[in-house]
Amino acid sequence: MSEFIDGRMLIGGELVESRTSNWLESVNPANEEVIGRVPAAGPEDVNAAVEAAAGAFDAWAGLSMTERATALRGYAQRLKEEGKRILDIEVRDTGNTIAKLRHDVASAVRGIEYFAGLGTELKGETIPASADALHYSVRQPYGVVGRIVPFNHPILFAAKFGAPLMAGNCVVIKPSEQSPLSAGVLAEIVRETLPPGVVNIVTGDGAGAGDPLVRHPLVKRISFIGSVPTGLAIQRAAAEVAVKHVSLELGGKNPMIVFPDADPDQVAASAVAGMNFAWMGQSCGSMSRILLPDSLYDAVLERVVAKAEAIVQGDPASEESGAGPMNSRAQYEKALGYIQAGIEDGARLVAGGTRPEGPEFERGYWIRPTVFADVTRDMRIFREEIFGPVMSLIRYRDVDEAMELANDVEYGLTASIWTNDLKQAMRAARDVRAGYVWVNGVSRHFLGTGFGGFKNSGTGREECFDEMLSYTETKTVHVHV
């Protein structure tokens, strides 16, 4: 049996329990066994973390860019060294397959190193506004930044705080209560490598930790990754306290727009890969709506079903597993509810939708990768984000209808366009209302290119220079000479 994980929070450079004396237990979603616990923070803990960040701010902001970069690179190196330990914990805590999770620590390290090299680019401007004065601007940090991160990539989202730190801010991070155990390792690494108070980590649920962090008057800059309803709640709560800069990377109901000249084999393979079944569809960028012309519909459907049914589902720690369980009971029940809604609304269930067979699947949050055919725009599975392993195939008649269907949801995070016609591809990329678009590709992120959404999929961009700029305020200075 694996070791029980007894996590701690990080506040002011110290590993601590909660002032509430309460704990959150975490279960392995593959078998529902309790595998660890973390402190359940309350408002007093959050306040202590914010005060620690505020206390560390002047010294951290007073460092040179070279000094900040050196500290961050040292932190990134320790994170990399602890990669195997983190991987073992996250496989058990999330249900995500080891083959996919292996890349998360490496991606976090790359992101930290990227921003460590950009510090000297935080430049202001000189403006020739008058003949008798020097007019210039400088960029300065906000102070204390709150970051609330989701369950699907726990260490990746919690650990990549290079942008706010290089800009001179100090940070309070709240990991997801659904997969919090790797945050304890992150707390140890931060304690070893960064000055006390520069990064603080508080674990707990939304009411006990998330809401107090959003509402704290010293936290003027907030970053959140998660669902649209929670993003809306964060905007409301923040606005009730002070004027705050809130960036949101929210959900998606992402279209894969396939044109008649596309190859059905490539389309099917990319649709299944882009649906992120290896994460059980628990990825905001998943290609959950496949828009197909009549000429390709049957051919792609046949291939998609075959590929979905061929996915090997099993122990997430096995290199052979192509999919694990859902992350939590709540996500599992939500996905089952949408599968039932698809059936009730008249869609045709052509793959999955049930628990896999076998004694190893009797406990845990297991669902077979699921595909619906003949989905129409009036159905809930067309319009609403499921965040589960449910793909919908939709017919269209012509290009105008395809683009109308693609844009006919409240979301606008990602989109994929498949065609060999360059003019068609460029027009579709222009017209689709999404913030991140692939042409003849899916899923891959490219560091330095801004990731974020249109419409209700969010505000702001991450993984790029604009992210670091977003953690600064502009000050204009006029010097009369």
Tell me how far apart the alpha carbons of residues 414 and 432 are, in angstroms, rounded to a whole number.
Answer: 9
Maximum Cα–Cα distance across the chain: 82
- Count CB-CB contacts under 10 A for residue 4: 9
Task: Please compute, for residue 97, the number of CA atoms within 13 A of its CA located in the half-sphere on the CB side.
Answer: 19
Q: How many CA atoms lie within 13 A of 57 on its CB side?
A: 21
Direct distance between the N- and C-terminal alpha carbons of the chain, in angstroms, rounded to an integer:
74
Which tokens in the block code for residue 43?
């408002």
Confirm if 72 and 64 have CB atoms less than 8 A apart: no
Distance of CA 197 to the CA centre of its chain: 25
Instruction: Round to whole Å and give the CA distance between 271 and 252.
Output: 15
Residue tagged active-site, from 90, 170, 284, 463: 284
Dihedral angle, C-alpha 183, 186, 187, 192, nearest 10 °:
170
Of 321, 304, 303, 300, the C-alpha closest to 312 is 321
> What's at 226, amino acid-wise?
G
Which two three-digit tokens encode residue 322? 């192509």
Q: Which helix (H) or strand (E) holds 471?
A: none
Chain-centroid distance of CA 273 in Å reads 18
Angle at the Cα of 305 from the Cα atoms of 299 and 311, rounded to 5 degrees: 140
Residue 249 designated active-site: yes
DSSP, residue by residue, 178-195? TS-THHHHHHHHHHHHS-
Is 51 tagged catalytic? no
Question: For the CA atoms of 179, 387, 97, 27, what is the dihedral angle to 10 degrees?
Answer: 30
- Report whether 76 contacts 94 (CB < 8 A): no
Which residue is listed with tokens 């650990």? 159
- Token readout for 110 is 């790359």
The residues, ordered by sequence, that sit 6+ positions from 424 with a Cβ below 8 Å of its Cβ are 259, 399
| Per annotation, catalytic residue among 249, 385, 462, 467 | 249
Catalytic residue numbers, as ranges:
249, 284
